[in-house]
Structure 1
Amino acid sequence: MQPISFLVLDAQLCERQRIVALLQPLEPGPVHQASTSQEALEGLRRCGGVDIAICNLRTAGRDGLTFLREVSKAHLARAILITGQMDASLRSAAHSMITCLGLQVLGDLGQTSDVEQIQVVLDAYRAGSDKLVTPELDAPPSFAEIQRAFDDDEFEPYYQPKFMLNSGELKGAEVLARWNHPRLGLLSPAYFLATLEAHHLLDKLLARLLEKGLMLQKALALTGLSVELAFNVHATQLGSTTFVDKIEKALNRLGLPAHGLLFEITETGLVNSTVNSLENLIRLRLMGCGLAMDDFGSGYSSLQRLCGLPFSQLKLDGSFVRELESRPDHRAVIESAVTLADSLGLSLVVEGVETSEQQAQLHRMGCSIGQGYGLARPMPTTRFFQYCLDAERDKRNYLLTA
């Protein structure tokens, strides 16, 4: 495992020394220091950049925002950790800006931070920097490259489990698209989805993932296991008059039940629903499939739309969990989502669970199902198959000893 490199930007020498003292017992990597944005940028260019830039935006003022832009533009850091006191709304806006710049947001480091909090931050960085690659988005793959990838069967499903927060029981998995590129490695959808959408290939990708996912379900069924799989569906796909027929044929081909499938549609994608879209949603539910409103709370749809569509599940956007400790308003949103889902008879899945502390707190707040890197990372088919077998064995052993 490669050591993590840092830059600490703060005008106060004592504050820089405090942060360095917290980092040194945990990471052997280099820690660069700077008191101004200009000094920081010059140092980063000399050393070729760092993994994490720790920046006090309050001290740096407007220059701190310029620093973030320059770091992103020149690829001088991969993640940003904000330090110093800042109003909650300003902090949230800063996080949004950092995300828009293509940098990983690691949250905030308060003036009373200790080694354990730093370790949580480093774990989050390593989780977000796992082997997934997103090449430069100013050079997306061409149509010919995408076609070759389909021909060579390079698109594959990765499965991220969902769990009961109280017991750790496996409750299914979300199926995520990955491109296993022969030269660039494992690529995230951020790199290739725009090209797929532009060339009307999203249905082809879903068909490929669905085929492999159903084959996995069939293999698990032979061992006596059933695992619900959730697939992401783009709003444009719901407008197809053949969308549901293809899913039904795929299920019939392998003799699998529809209740083993769930389809996730983003809240923003439902703003302009067509008659075909609404008919497909209804037909999926009548077949027995589940429907989830994905990233709930991140868009601008009305609650009236939620009541008027046949959803069986809400997936709360992970941004509310990341600042659960420091944002009372985020806590209020989560508690409201629990009440709303319960009142509407929907299951609620909370995304973005990264720590055991978040898991315990969410459970106390009434959340039942969670998903996130802190619970389990996305995994390829063979590993997930074994994961399911191990989970069932552990469950049986627990029941025998209970």
Structure 2
Amino acid sequence: MPVLPLRVLVLEDHHFQRTIAVNLLKQLGCDTVLAAANGAQALRTLHEVGPVDIVLCDLHMEGMDGLEFLQRAKNAGLVRSVIINSSLTEDVRRAARKLVPLLGGVLLGDVSKPLEINAIEPLLRHYLKEASTYQNVSACSIAIGAEDVRLAMAHQQMETYFQPKVDLRSGDVTGVEALARWNHPFSGLVSPAVFMPAVESCNLLNELFFAQLEDGMKLQREALKRGCFLNVAFNVQPIQLTNVTWALEVKSRLASHGLSGAGLTFELAENGLMEASSACLENLVRLRMLGCRLSIDDFGVGFCSLQRLCQLPFNEIKLDGEFVRTLDREPYCRAVVVSTLALGKALGMTVVVKGIEAQRQHEQLLDLGCTQGQGFLFALPMSCEPLLDWIEARSK
């Protein structure tokens, strides 16, 4: 088996379970596998040998429990991502899955005991695929400030990558989502998690967005030359829509490129809908009047009320990938997918499912009636030319 370039720490207080996990990770080819019986020992180990890519972490332990360890390790920059491995009840683990990101961690997944190879291997592959699209956030030591971001934009270092959305039945590409990447001259492709806080704090969201919009429209025009109509989706935050002329600027850009609003989708995270002001609503209505689609992103993990959902002019629901990762072993995930599909049908809204990474997930979603999806199973984010070549090759 090929070596996986991964450093993994197993934090497990039960000797037998710890031995199983270590042997399984070595069997999968992980380059370095460390082990600790408690949180304090794990911290000492990481301070001695340096950070790990993944910690396979039990939660309930004597002394320093898994949650305290994760908080301390993350604050010290010693852990890049987390896989929960616990025998706690599902409701407690579900709450812990919500807590890990709040502690500053990246949650790869949640697997039950005893650990099984078919549960852990897809999560390791996911980490490697994600890492392949940009440098690991923890590995990037550059300090990001307003001037850095402005210079990056001025020198066209901010690039737009596109991840396809597909018809789950036919495999046809139904659109793409535009994603920002910083092609740093020294650090390579840098994740938005590194530079977006600076973009937001320096009020550069619109500058970045309209640069992405230009890239998306150029992609559309090139796709049309190749006989392909391509809808492009962009992530937008409510604060951008507080300027009542925002949608009018979009209209102007469409006119200058000779394109229709039907080729654009704007995605707003569900949490953001709580902040939607009258100016925001006005812009959303104008976008719909232009023929653009509006999508509620990360649906199911935010706090938007159904009343708010019905008040706003959306025509797409994008279900968060969390509900797909454990679809085959957690009944509540299946119930959420089924309920969201029913809600979408009742409201006349398309439902797109994110985070599809395995063929089994694809098959299960088809069985449930899902028709639109996105995820690494189909394609990683790509720049313009590779994307067009990929689409062209699929259509032959």
Q: TM-score category by the smaller chain?
A: over 0.9
Q: Following the alignment from structure 1 to structure 2, what is the Cα–Cα distance between the partners of residues 43 and 351?
A: 36
Tell me if the contact between 1:140 and 1:192 (Cα under 8 Å) persists in the aligned partners. no
Aligned to 1:178: 181
Residue 241 (structure 2) pairs with residue 238 (structure 1): yes
The CA deviation at 1:123 is 0.9
Q: Following the alignment from structure 1 to structure 2, what is the Cα–Cα distance between the partners of residues 273 and 35?
A: 48
Change (3 A) 1:115 1:138: closer
Aligned residues: 393
Aligned to 2:191: 188
Aligned to 1:81: 83
Tell me if the contact between 2:74 and 2:105 (Cα under 8 Å) persists in the aligned partners. yes
Tell me if the contact between 2:144 and 2:198 (Cα under 8 Å) persists in the aligned partners. yes
Q: Structure 1 segments of 4 or more deviating over 6 A?
A: 136-139
Identity of aligned residues (%): 37
The CA deviation at 1:138 is 11
Change (3 A) 1:219 1:72: same
For structure 1, list consecutive stretches of 5 or more residues without a partner in the other structure: 394-402
**1:79 partner amino acid:** S
Aligned to 1:41: 43
Tell me if the contact between 1:291 and 1:313 (Cα under 8 Å) persists in the aligned partners. yes
Residue 303 (structure 2) pairs with residue 300 (structure 1): yes
Cα-to-partner distance string for 1:300-353 (whole Å, 9 max, x where unaligned): 222122222221111112222223233322221111100010111111001121
Match of 2:31 among 29, 52, 59: 29
Residue 361 (structure 2) pairs with residue 373 (structure 1): no
Change (3 A) 1:273 1:114: closer
Aligned to 1:337: 340
Q: Following the alignment from structure 1 to structure 2, what is the Cα–Cα distance between the partners of residues 31 and 199?
A: 41
Q: Following the alignment from structure 1 to structure 2, what is the Cα–Cα distance between the partners of residues 383 and 257?
A: 24
Change (3 A) 1:271 1:39: closer
Q: Following the alignment from structure 1 to structure 2, what is the Cα–Cα distance between the partners of residues 200 and 46?
A: 40
Calculate the TM-score normalised by the size of structure 2.
0.92
Residue 318 (structure 2) pairs with residue 328 (structure 1): no
Change (3 A) 1:82 1:14: same
The CA deviation at 1:228 is 0.5
Change (3 A) 1:115 1:266: closer
Q: Following the alignment from structure 1 to structure 2, what is the Cα–Cα distance between the partners of residues 36 and 62?
A: 7
Aligned to 2:267: 264
Change (3 A) 1:315 1:61: farther
SS at match of 1:225: coil
Change (3 A) 1:153 1:143: same
Q: Following the alignment from structure 1 to structure 2, what is the Cα–Cα distance between the partners of residues 87 and 342?
A: 33
Q: Following the alignment from structure 2 to structure 1, what is the Cα–Cα distance between the partners of residues 346 and 308?
A: 15
Q: Following the alignment from structure 1 to structure 2, what is the Cα–Cα distance between the partners of residues 155 and 46?
A: 37
Aligned to 1:16: 18
Tell me if the contact between 1:6 and 1:50 (Cα under 8 Å) persists in the aligned partners. yes
The CA deviation at 1:62 is 4.3
Cα-to-partner distance string for 1:150-187 (whole Å, 9 max, x where unaligned): 21011111101111122221110110111111122212
Calculate the TM-score normalised by the size of structure 1.
0.91
Q: Following the alignment from structure 1 to structure 2, what is the Cα–Cα distance between the partners of residues 205 and 87?
A: 44
SS at match of 1:5: strand
**Superposition RMSD in Å:** 2.2
Q: Following the alignment from structure 1 to structure 2, what is the Cα–Cα distance between the partners of residues 118 and 339?
A: 31
Q: Following the alignment from structure 2 to structure 1, what is the Cα–Cα distance between the partners of residues 41 and 275?
A: 49
Match of 1:168 among 167, 171, 190: 171
Q: Following the alignment from structure 1 to structure 2, what is the Cα–Cα distance between the partners of residues 28 and 318?
A: 25
Cα-to-partner distance string for 1:109-131 (whole Å, 9 max, x where unaligned): 33344333232121122123224
Q: Following the alignment from structure 1 to structure 2, what is the Cα–Cα distance between the partners of residues 135 and 107?
A: 19
